[in-house]
Amino acid sequence: MLQSCDLLIEAGWVVPIEPHGVVLEDHAVAVSGGEILAVLPAAEARARFQPAETVSRPGSVLIPGLVNAHTHNPMNLLRGIADDLPLMTWLQEHIWPVEGAVVGPEFIADGVTLAVAEMLRGGTTCANENYFFPDVEAATYKRLGFRAVVGLPVAQFANAWAASEEEYFDKAIQVHDQWRDDPLVSLAFVPHAPYTVSDAAFARIRTLSDQLDLQVHLHTHETEQEVVDSQRDHGQRPLARLDRLGLVNERLVAVHMTALTDAEIELCASRGVSVVHCPESNLKLASGFCPVAKLERAGVNLAIGTDGAASNNDLDMFGEMRTAAQLAKAVAGEATAFSAASALRAATLGGAKAIGLDDRIGSIEPGKQADLVLVDMDPLETQPLFNAISQLVYATGRQQVTDVWIAGHRKLDGRDLVDMDAAALLANARQWRGRIATILEQQNR
């Protein structure tokens, strides 16, 4: 008697991520109740299962949904407003003033919605979010059926979300209590950066992180100047300061990490820190080079993030994988550094591990959530195909993503967004362009 299931996806190649570097030809994945039931040869799957729906793509690769391990998704509405500037000039003279004028619940919801559409069309099924109004972000991700880890922000500066560090904490606890048991929306603390968060706040975050079992998602060692300023202001490099405050542990999600000593790399490895590499944002802002090859060699868990679309300027994880793999080779002076398989792993299971969801997502294994992506490899640009993983990282564009599922629910169908109105999204983005352009004109007078 055939076993029933909700969905059977047959693909020319399945890349499960675990085991590392493996490609399964002519395989299928059976899904039921939002979970992966089995991964097996397609012929065996047809003989074993009676699916409610079958999707057969012999020219496609099936991969786990990509995990964008660091992003500021509401900033999609600020894409391109201040390009070709160094980090602090970009932030202090352009981004922060505009944010002060526009950031509020409507901006957050619309920015996240636009970002989700872009991410789905690029094969991303989970985002590690770092921005303000986490209550609005969580509600928006939930409404859209998109998996996210929503950050609970903490900073010394005031904004429309919170006027003081104390208010940041009060609101963080409220949001946590509301969303702590949601199957799609998880939570983390997101202190902005070492230079915008006090010692007292970091110590409190450490205590709450332990009590609530939450990751701490933090920009750190983003530039050499940040390190110099920390030594001047605190008498320590940022990572040493965080270590003094008890934050260098397996819950730390350290983003950028361009200015590192060998001793700091070993410290991260021994403490179980995850490092999120944002290669294109770092390149665009001239922030420096994350020593990816050294981190990988030391055994540090690596993830990949796009950063926000205001500093990248997209949420394209395929482009990010390619840049990460190629840049790592140039920085290390080794053509073997950070292989295609390592880059794909960082963009999937590595990201899932960083954000504490590797028991649920990041690889195609029975019992895990069915966050799955089909990538069409038939276009001329990806033929002939000798190695599916190399082709995914070095030759594939996000426009080749055809089908996406999150927890077994279809979110992209033959490049068409499901339950999202692309024309309405475009119209809304254009009206925000008009509103923000008016603000920029006023600020530049």
**How far apart, in whole angstroms, are the C-alpha atoms of residue 385 and residue 378?**
9
In this structure, the strands spanning 147-154 and 35-41 are: unpaired
- Residue 210 phi, psi (nearest 5): -65, -45
Q: Retrieve residue 335's tokens.
A: 């053509």
Q: Is 184 left (phi over 0), alpha (psi -120 to 50) or beta?
A: alpha
Q: Retrieve residue 412's tokens.
A: 């992209």
The alpha carbon of residue 213 and the mean position of all alpha carbons in its chain are separated, in whole angstroms, by: 20
pLDDT at position 86 is 86
**How far apart, in whole angstroms, are the C-alpha atoms of residue 83 and residue 331?**
24
pLDDT at position 346 is 99
User: pTM score > 0.95 for this model?
Assistant: yes
Q: Which helix (H) or strand (E) holds 126?
A: strand 124-129
pLDDT at position 338 is 98
pLDDT at position 443 is 81
For residue 168, give the amino acid letter. Answer: Y
Instruction: Give the SS3 label for residue 220.
Output: strand
* CA neighbours closer than 13 Å in the CB half-sphere of residue 391: 22
pLDDT at position 411 is 98
Using alpha carbons only, give the angle 173, 139, 196 rounded to the nearest 5 degrees: 50
pLDDT at position 247 is 98
**How far apart, in whole angstroms, are the C-alpha atoms of residue 340 and residue 345?**
9
Residue 211: which residues within 8 A CB-CB, separation 6 or more?
none
Burial (CB count <10 Å: 0-12, 13-18, 19+), residue 182:
middle
Q: Retrieve residue 36's tokens.
A: 């992966």
Q: How far apart are the first and last CA of the chain?
A: 75
pLDDT at position 78 is 96
pLDDT at position 444 is 79
Q: Which domains does the chain possess?
A: 3-64+370-414 (2.30.40.10), 66-354 (3.20.20.140)
Residue among 377, 253, 365, 240 nearest 318 (CA): 377
The alpha carbon of residue 346 and the mean position of all alpha carbons in its chain are separated, in whole angstroms, by: 10
For residue 300, give the amino acid letter. Answer: V
Helices 134-144, 165-179: axis angle to 10 degrees equals 30
Residue among 308, 256, 319, 323 nearest 81 (CA): 308
Kindly list the distances between the CA atom of residue 127 and the CA atoms of 148, 150, 251, 281, in Å, as whole numbers in the listed order.
5, 8, 17, 16
Q: pLDDT per position in the chain (445 positions), as tens?
A: 899 999 999 999 999 999 999 999 999 999 999 999 999 999 999 999 999 999 999 999 999 999 999 999 999 999 999 899 888 898 899 898 999 999 999 999 999 999 999 999 999 999 999 999 999 999 999 999 999 999 999 999 999 999 999 999 999 999 999 999 999 999 999 999 999 999 999 999 999 999 999 999 999 999 999 999 999 999 999 999 999 999 999 999 999 999 999 999 999 999 999 999 999 999 999 999 999 999 999 999 999 999 999 999 999 999 999 999 999 999 999 999 999 999 999 999 999 999 999 999 999 999 999 999 999 999 999 999 999 999 999 999 999 999 999 999 999 999 999 999 999 999 999 999 999 999 988 887 7
The partner residues of 338 in beta bridges, in order of sequence, read none
Q: Which helix (H) or strand (E) holds 410?
A: strand 409-413
pLDDT at position 127 is 98
